[in-house]
A = this chain, B = another copy of it.
Amino acid sequence: MELCSGDFLHALRDTVRLPDGALTTREYVVHPGAVMVVPMLEGLSGELLLVMERQFRYPLNRVMIEFPAGKLDAGESSFHCAQRELKEETGYRATSWAHAGLLHPVIAYSTEFIDIWFARGLHPGEQHLDQGEFLDVFTATPDELMRWCRDGLVTDAKTLTAALWLQNVLSGAWQLNWKDIP
């Protein structure tokens, strides 16, 4: 049953039977899914720089440090969305991509998943932000990112999850399967 239908937020209320036979309701946001991109840039001395964003997030009334991310369009593949969002939000196109994993941001009350992509071989271009989208693009070293996670400057769950992936990829504990695209 429809619980609410906003311009952006859609929620359902279902009646469900629990393992003990009792009936109850479950209320949750219906979400098309999203992607996040960890864009890896080579600095002037060959060092690794991460392309990140500062974006004001209204529900929290603060500027958040994040990796580029965005919702899937209807019928869009996760990979296409990753390429599109990276280009729109940062201007970069990447020649090499790896799918890392998946996260579910809020399992208690949303169907949302976020597919995690790594991108490298970055070529700069022009941003094309959505109407009403405002964000600053900047670069950070992996050490800076880890320090910000530790010190509470990064609290966005998807970006913290990206930090877990990045740390284990850079240490060699976890492998990525890179694919070059034309």
Contacts and interface: CB of A to CB of B under 8 A. Distances in A.
Contact of A8 (B20, B109, B146, B160): B109
- Chain A, interface size category, equals 35 or more
A74 interface: no
State the majority secondary structure of interface residues on A.
mixed
A39 B36 CA distance: 30
Nearest to A133: B18
A104 interface: yes
Contacts of A103: 155-157, 160
Contacts of A46: none
A13 B7 CA distance: 9
B110 A57 contact: no
Interface of A: 3-4, 6-9, 11, 13-14, 16, 18-20, 22, 24-29, 57-60, 64, 66, 101-113, 131-132, 134, 146, 149-150, 152, 155-158, 160-161, 163-164, 167-168, 173-174
12 contacts: A3-B4, A8-B27, A9-B11, A20-B134, A28-B58, A59-B108, A59-B111, A66-B107, A106-B112, A150-B174, A157-B158, A164-B164
